[in-house]
Amino acid sequence: MARKKEELQANARLMGNLNTLQGKKKDIPTASKEEAAERKQERRTQGKKGAKLTRIAASFTPEALDYIKTMSRIRGESMSEFIEHVLMQHKKDNEEFYNQVLEIRKNT
């Protein structure tokens, strides 16, 4: 009897592992559009369907990567957060030009 129970438990573990390998996920709650937008802004998108951040692949020179790693650690944030900070600062510094480009894009 004990051996049968052990076999059942082993089979259950195998099935669980098989489901994981096949990409089957547990039911994950879906975020509303408002909640998804809020979660994206706060970078809290894990664990909710419909709340995903856009991702890009980027390559950096060793010098640039060292700078990103060093400065992000000093600021106490992830490399992604640091890169976004730098981009938003650049956007702020070039706001007039950016708005002109947006206007041209809108009119064409």
In angstroms, the CA 10 to CA 20 distance is 15
Which of 93, 66, 98 is CA-nearest to residue 82?
66
Q: What is the pLDDT of residues 39-72, one digit of tens each?
A: 777 777 776 677 787 888 999 999 999 999 999 9
- The pLDDT assigned to 51 comes to 74
pLDDT range class, residue 94, cuts 50, 70, 90: very high
Per-domain residue ranges for the chain? 26-107
Q: How many whole angstroms separate alpha carbon 79 and alpha carbon 58? A: 12
